[in-house]
Structure 1
Amino acid sequence: MEVTRYSSIPAFYADVESFLLSQEDRAGIMLGNSLRFKDKVWEEEQPFLATVKKDGEIVLAAMLIPPYALLLLEKDEAEGLAAVPHLIQYLIKEDYAIHKIMSPKAVGKAFSKEWTTAHQLEEKVLMDLRLYTLQSVIQPAARPGKLRKATQTDLTFLPQWILEMTEETNQLMTFAEAEEYAKDRVESEFLFIWEEDGRPVSMAAKTRPNIKGVSVNLVYTPRDLRGRGYASACVAMLSKYLLNEGFEFCTLYTDLANPTSNKIYQNIGYQPVSDFIELKFNQKSTESPV
Structure 2
Amino acid sequence: MEVTRYSTIPAFYEEVESFLLSQEDRAGIMLGNCISFRDKEWEEEKPFLATVKENGKIMLAAMLVPPYALLLLEKEEADGITAVPHLVAYLIKEDYAIHKIMSPKAVGKVFSEQWTKKNRLEEKVLMDLRLYTLKSVIQPAARPGKLRQARAEDMSFLPNWVRGMTEETNQLVTKSEAEELAKTKLESGSLFIWEEDGRAISMASKTRPNVKGVSVNLVYTPKEWRGKGYASSLVAALSEHLLKEGYEFCTLYTDLANPTSNKIYQNIGYVPVCDYIELKFNQKRTETPA
For normalisation by structure 2, the TM-score amounts to 0.99
Question: What does residue 205 of structure 1 align with?
Answer: 205
Question: What does residue 108 of structure 1 align with?
Answer: 108
SS at match of 2:247: coil
Q: Is 1:248 aligned to residue 251 of structure 2?
A: no
Question: What does residue 63 of structure 2 align with?
Answer: 63
Deviation track 1:5-64 (CA, whole Å, cap 9, x = no partner) reads: 000000000000000000000000000000000000100000000000010111100000
Structure 2 CA distance for aligned equivalents of residues 164 and 286 of structure 1: 34
Question: What does residue 46 of structure 1 align with?
Answer: 46
SS at match of 1:123: strand
Structure 2 gap segments, 5+ residues each: none
Question: How many Å apart are 1:81 and its aligned residue?
Answer: 0.2
Question: How many Å apart are 1:289 and its aligned residue?
Answer: 8.0
Question: What does residue 220 of structure 1 align with?
Answer: 220
Q: Is 1:118 aligned to residue 101 of structure 2?
A: no
Q: Is 1:16 aligned to residue 28 of structure 2?
A: no
Matched residue type, 2:201 = V
Question: How many Å apart are 1:238 and its aligned residue?
Answer: 0.1
SS at match of 1:58: strand
Q: Is 1:271 aligned to residue 271 of structure 2?
A: yes
Question: How many Å apart are 1:287 and its aligned residue?
Answer: 3.4
Task: Work out the number of aligned pairs and report it.
Answer: 290
Deviation track 1:238-262 (CA, whole Å, cap 9, x = no partner) reads: 0000000000000000000000000
SS at match of 1:227: coil
SS at match of 1:192: strand
Q: Give the % identical residues.
A: 77
Q: Is 1:181 aligned to residue 205 of structure 2?
A: no
Deviation track 1:246-281 (CA, whole Å, cap 9, x = no partner) reads: 000000000000000000000000000000000000
SS at match of 1:173: coil
Question: What does residue 80 of structure 1 align with?
Answer: 80
Matched residue type, 2:182 = A
Distance 1:289 1:23, change over 3 A: farther
Q: Map 1:91-170 onto structure 2 (within 5 A).
A: 91-170=91-170
Structure 2 CA distance for aligned equivalents of residues 2 and 147 of structure 1: 50
Structure 2 CA distance for aligned equivalents of residues 46 and 174 of structure 1: 25
Question: How many Å apart are 1:288 and its aligned residue?
Answer: 2.8
Structure 1 gap segments, 5+ residues each: none
Matched residue type, 2:155 = L
Q: After the TM superposition, which segments of 4 or more aligned residues of structure 1 sit over 6 Å from their partners? A: none
SS at match of 2:58: strand
CA RMSD of aligned residues (A): 0.8
Matched residue type, 1:139 = Q
Matched residue type, 1:266 = Q
SS at match of 2:178: helix
Matched residue type, 2:118 = A
Distance 1:289 1:222, change over 3 A: farther
Question: How many Å apart are 1:224 and its aligned residue?
Answer: 1.1
Question: How many Å apart are 1:99 and its aligned residue?
Answer: 0.1
Structure 1 CA distance for aligned equivalents of residues 282 and 288 of structure 2: 17
